[in-house]
Structure 1
């Protein structure tokens, strides 16, 4: 298993910020972008369904 070397700054970060930096949990901005993309896709499919 590969060892991950942490800097002193990373060791002092709160757990949630640390997880954001390592990409283990999505950031609030990424969640919001995903929601917007989902709403757009649903709208496109609904429009296509109604038109045809």
Structure 2
């Protein structure tokens, strides 16, 4: 699936080295996606997606 990211936020550096990327599934602005990424290693820490998307992958 393609995701269009529309916003980002750096978390306080004294708490973590993460940033959140917020957006939605391309061509579906109602399906919001959030990804938490470590900006030192570029490792994905967490992904928040609607349950319906997870159910489609099963």
Task: Classify the TM-score, shorter chain.
Answer: under 0.3
Q: TM-score, normalised by structure 1?
A: 0.25
Q: TM-score, normalised by structure 2?
A: 0.24
Whichever structure has more helix as a proportion of its residues is: 1
Whichever structure has more strand as a proportion of its residues is: 2
Larger radius of gyration: 1
